């Protein structure tokens, strides 16, 4: 194998390994994001079942949890594009 071909093969192998590492890391992060979606859904359900009379704090927490859920879902979609 001449020097140029061997150098190209080494660079190609290194690039493939780097891509595989990034993809694996992205998938691991997605597991955490999917966990967050489940936890936020549970929190929203609990807040919806909670009684009112919390001085508007329950309603605000519900709104924030719903917004956090939306942002988390958008983050998952964004990461899939990479």
Backbone angles phi, psi at 4, to 5 degrees: -65, -45
Residue 21, pLDDT > 50, answer: no
79 or 11, which is more confident: 79
- Helical residues (DSSP H) of the chain, grouped into ranges: 3-49, 57-80
Whether the full predicted model's pTM is greater than 0.85, yes or no, is: no
Q: Rounded CA gap, 64 and 72, in Å?
A: 12
By percentage, how much of the chain surpasses pLDDT 70? 65
At residue 27, the pLDDT reads: 61
Q: Rounded CA gap, 57 and 7, in Å?
A: 63
Mean predicted confidence (pLDDT) in 56-79: 97
Four-CA torsion 17, 23, 26, 27, nearest 10 degrees: -120
């Amino acid at each position: 194998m001449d020097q140029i071909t061997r150098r190209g093969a080494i660079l190609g192998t290194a690039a493939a390994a780097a891509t595989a590492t990034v993809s694996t890391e992205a998938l691991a992060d997605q597991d955490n994001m999917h966990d967050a979606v489940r936890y936020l859904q549970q929190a929203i359900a609990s807040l919806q079942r909670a009684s009112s009379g919390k001085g508007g704090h329950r309603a605000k927490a519900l709104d924030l949890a719903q917004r956090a859920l939306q942002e988390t879902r958008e983050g998952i979609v964004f990461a899939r594009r990479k």
